[in-house]
Amino acid sequence: MLYTLPIIAALAGWLINTIAVQILLRQLPKRRETLANELGALAGQQFSFAAIKEKLTDPEKIKSIIPVVETHLDGFLRDRLPKAMPVLSMFIGDSTINQIKSHLVAELDALFPVMIHQYLGNVEKDLNLEKIISDKIRNTTAEQMQLAVTHFLGRELTGFKVLGAVSGLIIGGLCLLLVMLAA
């Protein structure tokens, strides 16, 4: 019976750490408000609209959409505009269409960065990322929070339980050794 002491201590260590993990997971919903505020603030500090504006208004990015604009303008000038204004089709030929298209494309090439920059400026004013993230966390259920933490920290939580078993085994072994030395 005495030799089972390390095994019993290992089981006790594993059980204690398993209970500790369960208690921690149950405390998450109670701390949801604090977690929501802190994670929302962190996201708000880390997220930069300036970087997004810079990437989206990059001249190379704008140039990559110009072929799509040209194709759309060509279809508009050759098909939809003459249908909408049949008299206009009598005066506009291929060379005029190509001139109009090239001028419009050049104008749009200059206009796109300004439009995107202004649009993102408006979005930035209206979009409170800190509040959005805080609200999303506040609205998660206890089960969702526990599942997310368990999924994210699964290995660490298992390691914590195993650490309890190993430390219990070591303590039980030391106790067994002390009992045997005392006898």
Q: How many domains are contained in the chain? A: 1
Q: 32 Cβ partners below 8 Å, 6+ apart?
A: 137, 138, 140, 145
**Each residue of 60-69: pLDDT tens digit?**
888 888 889 8
The H or E element that residue 131 is part of is: helix 129-138
**Each residue of 130-159: pLDDT tens digit?**
888 899 988 988 889 889 888 999 999 999
pLDDT band, very low/low/confident/very high, at 167 (cuts 50, 70, 90): very high
| Confidence (pLDDT) at 90 | 81
**Each residue of 73-127: pLDDT tens digit?**
999 988 898 889 888 878 888 888 889 999 998 898 888 888 888 888 888 888 8
pTM: 0.56
| Confidence (pLDDT) at 158 | 94
Q: Which residue stretches of 28-93 are H helix?
A: 32-46, 49-56, 59-75, 81-84
* Tokens standing for residue 18: 């398993």
For residues 175 and 122, what is the distance between their CA atoms, to the nearest angstrom? 69
Amino acid at 86: P
pLDDT band, very low/low/confident/very high, at 128 (cuts 50, 70, 90): confident
* Tokens standing for residue 59: 């001249």
| Confidence (pLDDT) at 163 | 96
**Each residue of 9-24: pLDDT tens digit?**
999 999 999 999 999 8
Distances in whole angstroms, Cα of residue 42 to Cα of each of 39, 46, 48, 139: 5, 6, 12, 18
152 closest CA partner among 28, 64, 13, 17: 28
Instruction: Decide if pLDDT at 166 tops 90.
Output: yes
For residues 179 and 83, what is the distance between their CA atoms, to the nearest angstrom? 101
* Tokens standing for residue 88: 């206009």
Distances in whole angstroms, Cα of residue 56 to Cα of each of 44, 112, 117, 163: 20, 10, 8, 49
Q: In which domain, by residue range, is 17 found?
A: 2-182
| Confidence (pLDDT) at 159 | 95
